[in-house]
Amino acid sequence: MPHRSWTSRNSGIHPPKLHDNLLGMIGNTPLVRLSGVTRDLPAEVEVWAKLEFMNPGGSVKDRPARQIILDAIAQGLLGQGQRLIDATSGNTGIAYAMLGAALDIPVTLVMPGNTSEQRKRVVTAFGAEIIASSEMEGSDGAITLVREILEADTEGNYYYADQYSNPSNPLAHTLTTAPEIWKQTDARVTHFVACTGTSGTIMGTGRGLKGFSKEIQIIGAQPADAFHGLEGLKHMPSSIVPQIYDESLLDEIRWIETEAGWDMAEQLAVDEGIAAGNSGGANVVAALQVASTLEKGVVVTVICDHADRYMD
């Protein structure tokens, strides 16, 4: 097979940035054009992936975790001895734990019992406490258990970050992800595609991009079935719908099979050299579905995290 062509236009050496603390390292992630999995598309259709595993906590969830914590501190809800608590399937928990360690904020995470061992070990390495919820109830079971813990907390020891309802979650993407994509594509982006978990990425980035141009199409994607194997994603018709989710913002919804997401994650590693988690694989499946309907366009999606978090 012939080698794919490439350019050194963006391959120069740049001096590394200096940061006063870890918080400044979140965001400004690379945008990479996919050339292997897109080989059958028309020449004027581009598909780009934002590599969110380049964040210091290893996932897209660093962005909302930072915004949630900073906003809570500014409002006096956190940083005065309160313990942050939230339900998480892993990536947001890692981000909370990392930032909690950096900012001296205690963190308690309610995680489904079947959360991967790698994620649990990373969280505890940062000093966070884990409370296990039912592995059969997924993220909804973790949310329910958090609410029970809060009901029993009569002394106000906890700050409930509530990533599924907290407007700071999508705000993080409106303020950072959207303008990064707009700038990185030289204002050429025509479609943004992402699967829904908390829905913060698609909601916040969608609003931000629509603020730059109403013509940009925002396409949400979801697992095709209630009982799926795409970790961190929600099948909205059968789930507790996050309060931050507003389906009216979406121009279209795509339904993704579990096998397709996992297969694409493997294909990205072989064809692109990108080791993506299965949610990133699902995002690319949806992006390619959209791209296949176009004659010309610039489709952008997100690689949420790295494959190494799924290798138990």
CATH of residue 69's domain is 3.40.50.1100
Q: What is the mean pLDDT of the chain?
A: 93
Model confidence at 28, in pLDDT bands (50, 70, 90)?
A: very high
The secondary element (H helix, E strand) that includes residue 196 is none
Is residue 13, in this structure, part of any structural domain at all?
no
- Same domain, yes or no, for 112 and 175? no
Residue 34 has pLDDT above 80, yes or no: yes
- Same domain, yes or no, for 123 and 140? yes
Model confidence at 164, in pLDDT bands (50, 70, 90)?
A: very high
Residue 1: per-residue pLDDT: 42
b/e sequence 263-273, b meaning 16+ C-beta within 10 Å:
ebbebbeebbe
Closest of 248, 277, 84, 228 to residue 163, by C-alpha: 84
- Same domain, yes or no, for 181 and 301? yes
Is residue 146, in this structure, part of any structural domain at all?
yes
Residue 94 has pLDDT above 60, yes or no: yes
Better-predicted residue by pLDDT, 244 or 20: 244
| 211-239 average pLDDT score | 93
| 93-114 average pLDDT score | 95
Q: Which of 50, 59, 61, 239 is catalytic?
A: 61
| pTM for the structure as a whole | 0.92
Q: Which of 89, 133, 239, 279 is catalytic?
A: 279
| 39-60 average pLDDT score | 97
Is residue 223, in this structure, part of any structural domain at all?
yes
Q: Where does a domain end: 106, 127, 160?
A: 160
| 145-160 average pLDDT score | 92
The segment with the largest mean pLDDT, out of 178-192, 233-247, 298-312, is 178-192
Is residue 3, in this structure, part of any structural domain at all?
no
Is residue 17, in this structure, part of any structural domain at all?
no
- Same domain, yes or no, for 45 and 192? yes
Dist CA 301 CA 51 (whole Å) = 9
Is residue 85, in this structure, part of any structural domain at all?
yes
Dist CA 206 CA 67 (whole Å) = 17
- Same domain, yes or no, for 221 and 133? no
Residue 91 has pLDDT above 80, yes or no: yes
Residue 103 has pLDDT above 90, yes or no: yes
Please say if 238 is a catalytic residue.
no
Percent of the chain whose predicted confidence (pLDDT) is above 70: 95
Is residue 1, in this structure, part of any structural domain at all?
no
- Same domain, yes or no, for 221 and 98? no
| 276-284 average pLDDT score | 96
Residue 274 has pLDDT above 80, yes or no: yes
- Structural domain boundaries, residue 69: 62-160
- pLDDT tens per residue, range 292-305: 999 999 999 999 99
Residue 309: per-residue pLDDT: 80
Assign 193 to helix, strand or coil. Answer: strand
How many domains in the chain?
2
- Same domain, yes or no, for 213 and 236? yes
- Same domain, yes or no, for 75 and 199? no
Assign 146 to helix, strand or coil. Answer: helix
Model confidence at 2, in pLDDT bands (50, 70, 90)?
A: very low
| 274-289 average pLDDT score | 97
Q: Tell me the C-alpha to C-alpha distance, in Å, between residue 111 and each of 64, 149, 256, 257.
A: 18, 13, 24, 24
| 212-218 average pLDDT score | 98
Specify the range with the lowest mean pLDDT, choosing from 154-158, 184-188, 256-260.
Answer: 154-158
Q: Where does a domain end: 131, 160, 189?
A: 160
Contact between 164 and 143 under an 8 Å Cβ cutoff? The reply is yes
- Same domain, yes or no, for 219 and 281? yes
Residue 310 has pLDDT above 50, yes or no: yes
CA dihedral of residues 240, 245, 247, 250 (deg, nearest 10): -140
Cα angle at 304 between 163 and 183, to 5 degrees?
100
Is residue 243, in this structure, part of any structural domain at all?
yes
- Same domain, yes or no, for 297 and 193? yes
Please say if 11 is a catalytic residue.
no
- Same domain, yes or no, for 52 and 68? no
- Same domain, yes or no, for 195 and 282? yes
Residue 13: per-residue pLDDT: 63
Q: Where does a domain end: 103, 135, 160?
A: 160
